[in-house]
Amino acid sequence: MKNVVVIGSQWGDEGKGKIVDWLSQKADVIVRFQGGHNAGHTLVVDGITYKLKLLPSGIVRKNKISIIGNGVVLDPWALLHEIKQIERLGIRITNKNLYVAENTPLILPLHKELDGIREDAKNTDKIGTTRRGIGPAYEDKVGRRAIRVVDLANKKILLKRLDMILFHHNSIRKGLGKNTINKQKLINDLSKVSPKILKYSKPVWKVLDELKRKRKKILFEGAQGVLLDVDHGTYPFVTSSNTVAGATLSGTGCGPDSLNYILGIVKAYTTRVGEGPFPTELKNETGNKIGKRGNEFGTVTNRKRRCGWFDAVLVKQSCLISGVNGIALTKIDVLDQFKDLYVCVAYKLNGKKIDYLPSSLQDQIKVKPVYKHFDGWLKNTKGIKKWNQLPKKAQQYIKFIKNYCGVKISSISTSPKREDTILLENPFK
């Protein structure tokens, strides 16, 4: 029995949804351990497209348990809306196949409002957030004033917690010249939603321990990517949680012995949504062509993604930080029509060559990529399911990524469809 962690090894949008769904046929349990409804996963199953934000990707499969861990920040209204949307597509969701950790902090309307106020402020740098209240909710969690799922079960406790959080937020809003929060409306809104959320509430750490003792296979599903990690990413242009594999433990209540295989999802080129450094970005027709062929628009925001050549330096760095055992390479077919391809193998900073992305934002902006050239294969790879059917030049491109990053390639995705995958190693075995 193996438990597998799936993480994005770039700036997110690597195709985790398809890979997690594909792997979930071997798993019994699928767990989200960080992030919120700012992370989108698109699945195409039997011709039906599912767009998930909070729900684990395993929810679209029968006889699987899906879990939202305590490392997630949960917008209860967004969750209920998403459940309705998925149920319209024929998926039945009950408290038998969906659990929510009782110690999960909530995103409230006041968090979304503060997110928007900050992004619109003229005297601050725009981070490019999704304006869904993720950052402010994590701030309240760390500040020990968050409302958690379990608080919804006790009105007396809930009112006390609300007084604490409103004292903080109203102080900020007054300073910004904004109206204070209508406490009674917030109480009424929470009262309506509470029973609908509480029915999914569980002590997830305990549930996971019991499932492990029963030797159930657990798939831990990360959101965003390592380069957006609040500690290890391109700070401050990052998300508000830890996206590295280690966050699986604190985000679910599992011990280190629970993780047996770390799978890093890697796109065959590089994309980024929002602001921040991007050494290999292509602000030209080539970048536009990659984006068009790859359909590079955000699942959650529909924002156009910035596109560039594959950055092997960053992927190697991400793999080392998260202890990646295998790479799932996605979207190789997007590169089919390019005569010339380039891979970043180093940076130049102040005249010196370096083999990592430094932590300083100023240095991250200044680094210049050093490229290795590859001949494009100019042949169709879409739908290929066997390694030996790939063009030789595509094989050479993939082998270089493997050797440079020092991590084996476990699978190669050749289209958004679940079945269009070249399996080289099964992480569950």
Q: Cite the active site residues.
A: 13, 41
Q: Work out the angle at residue 298's Cα, subtended by the Cα atoms of residues 3 and 59, and round it to the nearest 5 degrees.
A: 40
Q: How far apart are CA 86 and CA 217, in angstroms?
A: 24
Beta bridge partners of 422: 412
- Alpha carbon separation from 273 to 128, 200, 237, 296, 302 (Å, rounded): 8, 32, 10, 9, 10
Q: How far apart are CA 383 and CA 414, in angstroms?
A: 5
Beta bridge partners of 43: 50
C-alpha 359: how far from chain center? 21
Joined together, the tokens standing for residue 154 give 């006790």
Which pairing describes strands 352-354 and 306-308: parallel, antiparallel, or unpaired? Answer: unpaired
Joined together, the tokens standing for residue 55 give 């729900």
* Beta-carbon count within 10 A of 154 CB: 11
- How many residues does the structure list for the chain? 429
Burial of residue 258 (number of CB atoms within 10 Å: 0-12, 13-18, 19+): middle
384: nearest Cα among 415, 410, 427, 339: 415
**Residue given tokens 């193996």 in the structure block:** 2
Q: How far apart are CA 362 and CA 38, in angstroms?
A: 27
CB distance 334 to 269 below 8 Å: yes
